[in-house]
Chains A and B, each alone.
Chain A
Amino acid sequence: MKAAAFEYLRAASCDEAVAALAGEDTAVLAGGQSLVPLLNMRLARPRLVVDINRLADLSYLRRDNGNVVIGALTRHRAAETSAMVATDLPLLAAALRYVGHVSTRNRGTVGGSLAHADPSAELPTVAVALDASIRVQGSHGVRDIAAPDFFVGPHETALAPGELLVSVSFPVVPGAVSVQELPFRGCDLVVVAAVAVEDGICAQARIAVGGAGPTPIRASAVEEALIGRPVTDAVIAAAVAEFTCDPPDSLHAPASYRREMASVLTRRAIGTAVHT
């Protein structure tokens, strides 16, 4: 199992990377934790691999006007262990602990997970829950894409040919958080929830479900059914009943099972968050 031959460019600047990506049949190499296995298995056979690992200016975490902005090349492990992320983005910190293992998180990048757009991956699901804004750079300059518009389908994004994901901006939202997973192969489900409760009443809620459709799903109906109501078990159960999804059928897990598990995990995520 060895990769097919490809050309390799170690980009020295964003502009150089973007110029190279404008060519035919290219792939961006960031952390490599998804791309290199795909190369090894020859599921990806790009003409040119553009390595962005030397672009140190794409690796940062900073606060900006009520948001936390994370450079695309920031390693999962750096974000996971960041005091700023722990304080301002506890949902991201909690979700990152479910991404691979320490050795994969040492290499894997925040931008890479978003651009890879695995429908059941943690980072895209958090991005959808928090309505993150994803910044991409092309020959035209930069543009910002809202997370729900960025994820188009399984492993498919709104990135145009020749564009490079350069950063993601997560709004800081109040509330306690919970991440729930059913991580069996063939039935990867993840639910992320941030719920703010004031005097027993749900003040804000951000909930998204990954792995239950072609892209992560924002559970807007569930959020609406929670906000302004007391967070009792009955209210949570009624809110979760509002969640609808059309998950895929497979040998490992029929759609009906996935749908039921998505509800179970959503109920658990909300319950865990409000009781934290």
Chain B
Amino acid sequence: MKVSLTVNGEEVSASCEPRRTLADFLRHDLGYTGVHVGCEHGACGSCTVSVDGATARSCCMLAVQAEGCTVTTIEGLASSGELDPLQESFREHHGLQCGFCTPGMLATAHELLRDNPDPTDSEIRAAISGNLCRCTGYQFIVDAIKGAIRPPHDGQQRDGVVEPGAAASSRRK
């Protein structure tokens, strides 16, 4: 079947069998290799992408279900060539080692900060509880997400949206 969708702002289409997961479709048929395929049954969170503005495990969606949808992968976060504030914070706080879980962590953290711009530590931990990391022990990831929380005087924070590509200098140090 032919599947047409928008990925990171670009309209793309390719053919695949109905059994193709969205994860495999993005990675193998469209070349978005930032989609990391781990457990293939919705347990590890590595393949998490945004579908029509909400995170989804792309291994638990068929590609044919994404017909007409708008998908954002990790490649869409730094499309301007600069890391977005959350990515920058992950780098600064050593929020990754091998990097396998990182695309899913970032998608999840983006949604968290959009819906809850000033999360507590326990809310951060609950939010990433469906994303497995076997390297960092999570503390640095929690630190990185906290580091990306905008200070209260930043007007954009109250909009509840962390804009990809927003100035890294607005980050709280």
Contact = CB atoms under 8 A, between A and B. Distances in A.
Contacts of B108: 102-103
Interface stretch (B40-48, B76-84, B85-93): B40-48
B161 interface: no
Given A1-B40, A1-B41, A107-B61, A100 B130 contact: yes
Contacts of A100: 42, 130
A33 B58 CA distance: 10
Main secondary structure of the interface of B (DSSP, over half): mixed
A33 B59 CA distance: 9
Interface stretch (A37-45, A134-142, A228-236): A37-45
Nearest to A40: B40
Given A37-B42, A101-B129, A102-B127, A32 B62 contact: yes
B111 A40 contact: no
A41 B41 contact: yes
B57 interface: yes
A218 B18 CA distance: 40
Interface residues of B, number: 29
Main secondary structure of the interface of A (DSSP, over half): mixed
B111 to A, nearest CB: 7
Interface stretch (A2-10, A205-213, A263-271): A2-10
Nearest to A33: B60
A272 B1 CA distance: 52
B18 A8 contact: yes
A36 interface: yes
A108 B144 CA distance: 29
B21 interface: yes
A29 interface: yes
B62 A29 contact: yes
Contacts of B130: 100-104
Contacts of A6: 18-19
B64 interface: yes
Interface in A6-31: 6-8, 10, 29
Given A37-B60, A103-B45, 7 more contacts: A8-B64, A37-B42, A53-B65, A103-B107, A103-B111, A103-B130, A104-B42
17 contacts: A1-B40, A3-B21, A6-B19, A8-B62, A8-B64, A32-B65, A37-B42, A41-B41, A51-B62, A101-B129, A102-B55, A103-B54, A103-B55, A104-B42, A104-B60, A107-B56, A107-B57
Interface of B: 1, 17-19, 21, 24, 40-42, 45, 48, 54-57, 59-62, 64-65, 67, 107-108, 111-112, 127, 129-130
Interface of A: 1-8, 10, 29, 32-33, 36-37, 39-41, 49, 51, 53, 77, 100-104, 106-107
Can you list the 9 inter-chain pairs with the closest CB atoms, starting with the nearest?
A: A101-B130, A8-B18, A37-B41, A103-B55, A106-B54, A3-B19, A36-B60, A1-B40, A40-B40
